[in-house]
Chains A and B, each alone.
Chain A
Amino acid sequence: MMQVSKRPWYQGAVSFWLKDVGSASYFIAATITSFLCLIATGIEELITLMIMFATICMYSAIAWQSIKMQATEWQSLVVGYREHVMFQGKVFIVFSNLISILSIIIAGNINLLATLTLANLVGIIIWFLNRSFSHLFTSVCYLSFFIATLVCVLIEQLPVWLIPVNIIAYIAIALLHNNFSSAYVWRPDSLSNYRNGLQSGWSPIPSGFLSNYGSSINKGLFPLSYFVGSGLSQYLILLTLLCTIGVVINLFYNITEHVIFVLTLCLFAIVTLSLWSKIQKQNSWELLFTLPIYNSSFSAKVALSNSVLKLAILVASLCFITASALSLANPTFLIFNILSYSLACSAGVLLSFAIGNVCKNINLLSFFMCISFGLNMGLANYMFDHGNNISELIIMATYTLAMAAINRFTVRYL
């Protein structure tokens, strides 16, 4: 018989947080963004968004582990197992907060502390809700990310008085949650929620939503829609609706830059989700190859590359129409800005899918997706603000063509 050894707190941490694909997608994003906060201390708008994103992502990773806990039937029998995993999560939260505080000190802006405390408040709500209700993960996470982004975009600096309010609310939730929740209790639907989450990329949209309107889009984007699922057309329709609402509001209030920022953010979030769903369904290739419409596996891969190209063209068209409509109310933006912006978005889509073609390892993919997400966001917004001459337009056109070529070339590595 062997006596139990004292277990180090980090035992199994790499496997729990980095090798579980669901957790890794949030954890890696949170870790990278946390460290980027230290670099971005000079850019006020960016650091606000990054602090918010890093903190909420870290809580989302813990929320994911909470769902896994609810899906694991034996966990309640293994004394100390849950505490061990959750302690690791708490250490990571503290670590992420310490980095954020350090970057706030470097930036020398007390208002950022209000952002950090708000992010923690939103985060604990995500975590605690998902400790009891695994089916809420999608909607709670997306709503939180959306609200957090809106707060960062619409409110330049959160007031300092929010700091104590957020802290008190945080402590109250932490202290009172036991009175109205049954945390980590096994639930029969949790395992399917967990697996659906892995497969669908936690699409926040119900599977039947807008399905009648999206069938022609899905048909046109086959076989990409085969991997991503009905979510692809739903995302595109929702994005169009979002753009329309933004354009209408822009007729009354000048929110051009906000609309462009939110549109770009949503676009690349959608691309990331679509790519995630596609990666999770790699095993479905075999069925696709057997379809009589393809002569060989390579022709199926080429068809996939073509459908990504079609998506990129759709995205470019949507961005062009939206940006043009926005510029009607705000004529300071030239056609060059609009075209460069549209091409940057389109190139971003192609780049993301090219990364998906090459990266087989999910951790590597998450890492590069984070990098490309930031790069695409930065490039698109820069082009809208500063791409006002023909030379930049030519560079963007060349870049887009290069991305299309890379996407087509890398498809063979799928």
Chain B
Amino acid sequence: MTQPLLSYKNISKKYNQRCVLNNINLNVEPGMVIGLLGKNGAGKTTLLRSALGLITPDQGEIQVLGELSNQLSASSKQKIGYVAQQTFGYEGFKIADALALHRSFYPDWDMQLETKWLARFELNNNDAINDLSIGQRQTLALIMAMAYRPQLLILDEPVASLDPIARREFMSDLFDLALDSGSGILFSSHITSDIERVASHIALIKQGELLLLDELDVIRDTVRKVSFREPTIDLSAYKVLNRQQNCAIIYGYTGEAIVDALAINTLSLEQLFVELHG
């Protein structure tokens, strides 16, 4: 069994008595692209930041590349890429200067990849970072985080400000990166179509709890919306993700008939997200 690149074990975190993360268990292994889906304030950013040691959990342990997240060695740090929700740090620089400085910290920087992405996303080396749009800054941040081909890539809503074409291209690059380099990627997003396009796994987080973690195909195949009239319907064979008066979202469905069910419907990821938060 391969060692996970990132491993959350029983992670809990409270802010001002509010539980932001509640007993999270999650492993990111090489080749995995995990899309983290959740509403604003669900705890996604806290989960990602805690992997970098920026936030210390109240309970549990986070291991990154075999080391504790708050005691990462220099060699491990060089294998991690991170893009924050708000890109910040090279104000005052031109793109070329910022990249030149940033690349000097990484022995394995892929210059060809940098050049390719700069050209593809039409970033001009002489442009000042202060003059870039939010989307362009995010693109640059992604280049800076990916050009040294990190083993573990942690991205907090990385493409939220990108136009649909750039988003699609970057997502495809992400997937290629994971396949080529055996990297593991954990990224959060609100855009379910992006997640569906590239993620191998989905982690669905609601109010700090990891409701669902599985392969995308498994989720597609086994998550159903069951409509019923009688509230006494027996759903004990499944994991019930959400239950309301006349319907429930179940996980673990394998095609059998459910007694008293009026309808059993498949759900797209977006529908699932909406149903779970409805």
Which residues of A are interface residues toward B (Cβ below 8 A)?
1-5, 7, 11-12, 15-16, 18-21, 68, 71-81, 84, 186, 191
The 8 closest A-B pairs by CB, nearest first: A19-B92, A72-B89, A20-B92, A73-B84, A4-B107, A15-B93, A7-B104, A79-B74
Given A74-B84, A186-B54, A191-B86, answer yes or no on A81-B105 (Cβ-Cβ < 8 Å).
yes
Within the assembled complex, what's the spacing in Å between the Cα atoms of A19 and B129?
11
Q: How far is the CB of A72 from chain B (nearest CB, A)?
A: 4
Given A2-B103, A4-B107, A7-B104, answer yes or no on A77-B89 (Cβ-Cβ < 8 Å).
no
Which of B92, B93, B110 gathers most chain A CB within 10 Å?
Answer: B92
> Which of A4, A68, A71 lies in contact with B106, CB distance below 8 A?
A4
CB atoms of B105 and A78 under 8 A apart = yes
Residues in A neighbouring B89, C-beta threshold 8 A = 68, 72, 74-75
A to B CB contacts below 8 Å, 5 in the list: A4-B106, A7-B104, A12-B97, A15-B94, A74-B83
Q: Is B200 an interface residue (CB 8 A)?
A: no
Which residues of B are interface residues toward A (Cβ below 8 A)?
49, 52-54, 72, 74, 77-78, 80, 82-84, 86, 88-94, 97-98, 100-111, 145
CB atoms of B103 and A77 under 8 A apart = no
Given A1-B109, A2-B110, A79-B74, answer yes or no on A16-B54 (Cβ-Cβ < 8 Å).
no
Which of B72, B78, B83, B101 gathers most chain A CB within 10 Å?
Answer: B101
Q: How far is the CB of A372 from chain B (nearest CB, A)?
A: 24
Residues in B neighbouring A7, C-beta threshold 8 A = 101, 104-105
Residues in A neighbouring B72, C-beta threshold 8 A = 77
CB atoms of A73 and B93 under 8 A apart = no
CB atoms of B82 and A73 under 8 A apart = yes
CB atoms of B54 and A73 under 8 A apart = yes
Which of B80, B102, B105, B106 gathers most chain A CB within 10 Å?
Answer: B105
Within the assembled complex, what's the spacing in Å between the Cα atoms of A247 and B94?
52
> Which of B82, B97, B104 lies in contact with A15, CB distance below 8 A?
B97
Q: How far is the CB of A193 from chain B (nearest CB, A)?
A: 12
Residues in B neighbouring A72, C-beta threshold 8 A = 88-89
> Which of A15, A78, A191 lies in contact with B92, CB distance below 8 A?
A15
CB atoms of A12 and B74 under 8 A apart = no
Within the assembled complex, what's the spacing in Å between the Cα atoms of A80 and B74?
9
CB atoms of B88 and A71 under 8 A apart = yes
Q: How far is the CB of A187 from chain B (nearest CB, A)?
A: 9
